[in-house]
């Protein structure tokens, strides 16, 4: 895809999503960054902010295969990945693929399912395949997981283990709309807006080929050597901060580089600048850092620590 076509493709996606989503421009950008870097994203926000609606709309306008799984306490790993079922006619077991075999998988309320089921996602997220009975089945290309979780309910939930959290490219916070934004939302419903999208004229303006082309464009973004060092210095600081128990792994360094390059593409640049890295540091690192107990006692938030780290690391010029 030529550079002009890439810009037009991204512009049209945003235009279509705004037919459904109000005042979430930054969230839309972060979701597109996840798509263009082949990265998974964790969406956190209170119920009713349109997290599921946003991902459904994204799949529809991009023209890619989409499936949704509602995570529950009784969900089993095979309910997601698939299972071997005995075929009485052929007298042999055959693998029946689960909903994970799709381009875009929405996992609603991922923290409501037990660790055993959560662990069933590890191989798929990292290796893009599912292994069953010693046979590996490749997932679709692209395969992206968007998982949602509710931050205000703890009863009947299972916190995600660090190994699973680290496989998410970023954690995206979705906040309440402004007064004007909420007025726009209720006006749309008053005029007959349908959450099933059956009555919403969202146009399909892309395809898998367009997405893969955008992913290639991200790879072409130029990065100076001093920016590689800048990223590593930021990650190094997460391991030395007095407020952090466990800092980011090298996977965090890679995620920060990829997300920053994709942000440059969205800003219509073919080269990386420090501001891209600073901007992406928050969504990429906020779920990778484990604060010390005394930090929580003092009321220190992860966002505060990241802000301090960025102020301490010298910016290359």
Residue 317 lies in a domain: no
Residue 299 lies in a domain: yes
Instruction: Give the CATH number for residue 290.
Output: 1.10.8.80
Residues 189 and 238 in one domain: no
pLDDT score recorded for residue 303: 93
- Among 173, 204, 235, residue at a domain's last position: 204
- Residues 6 or more apart whose CB falls under 8 angstroms from that of 308 comprise 241
Q: What is the pLDDT along the chain (317 residues), one digit of tens a residue?
A: 467 788 888 999 999 898 888 888 999 999 999 999 999 999 998 888 888 889 988 998 988 999 999 999 999 999 999 988 888 887 888 889 999 999 999 999 999 999 999 988 999 999 999 998 888 999 998 899 999 998 776 677 888 888 899 999 999 999 999 999 999 989 988 888 776 665 666 788 888 888 988 999 999 999 999 999 999 999 999 999 999 999 999 999 999 999 999 999 999 999 999 999 999 999 999 999 999 998 888 888 999 999 999 999 999 98
Residues 198 and 250 in one domain: no
pLDDT score recorded for residue 76: 92
Residue 26 lies in a domain: yes
pLDDT score recorded for residue 69: 94
Q: How far apart are CA 2 and CA 291, in angstroms?
A: 44
Instruction: Give the CATH number for residue 107.
Output: 3.40.50.300
Residues 147 and 92 in one domain: yes
Q: How far apart are CA 164 and CA 307, in angstroms?
A: 24
Count how many domains the chain has.
2
Q: How far apart are CA 253 and CA 96, in angstroms?
A: 37
Residues 99 and 234 in one domain: no
């Amino acid at each position: 895809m030529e550079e002009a076509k890439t810009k037009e493709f991204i512009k049209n996606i945003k235009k279509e999503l705004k037919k459904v989503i109000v005042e979430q421009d930054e969230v839309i950008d972060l979701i597109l960054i996840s798509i263009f870097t082949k990265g998974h994203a964790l969406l956190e926000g209170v119920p009713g902010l349109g997290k599921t609606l946003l991902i459904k709309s994204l799949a529809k306008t991009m023209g890619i295969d989409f499936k949704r799984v509602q995570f529950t306490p009784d969900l089993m790993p095979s309910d997601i990945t698939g299972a071997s079922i005995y075929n009485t006619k052929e007298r042999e077991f055959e693998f029946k693929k689960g909903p994970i075999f799709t381009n875009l998988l929405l996992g609603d309320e991922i923290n409501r399912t037990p660790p055993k089921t959560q662990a069933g996602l590890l191989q798929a997220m990292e290796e893009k395949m599912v292994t069953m009975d010693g046979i590996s089945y490749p997932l679709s290309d692209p395969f992206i997981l968007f998982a949602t979780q509710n931050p205000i309910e703890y009863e009947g939930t299972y916190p995600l283990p660090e190994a699973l959290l680290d496989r998410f490219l970023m954690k995206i916070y979705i906040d309440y709309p402004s007064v004007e934004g909420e007025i726009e939302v209720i006006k749309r419903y008053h005029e007959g807006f349908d959450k099933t999208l059956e009555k919403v004229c969202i146009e399909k303006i892309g395809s898998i080929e367009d997405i893969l082309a955008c992913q290639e464009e991200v790879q072409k973004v130029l990065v100076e050597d001093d920016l590689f060092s800048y990223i590593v210095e930021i990650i190094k600081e997460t391991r030395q901060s007095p407020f952090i128990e466990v800092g980011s792994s090298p996977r965090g360094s890679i995620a920060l580089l990829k997300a920053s390059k994709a942000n440059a593409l969205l800003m219509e640049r073919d080269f990386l600048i420090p501001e891209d890295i600073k901007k992406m540091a928050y969504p990429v690192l906020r779920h990778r850092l484990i604060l010390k107990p005394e930090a929580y006692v003092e009321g220190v938030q992860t966002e505060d620590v990241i802000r301090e780290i960025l102020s301490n690391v010298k910016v290359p010029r």
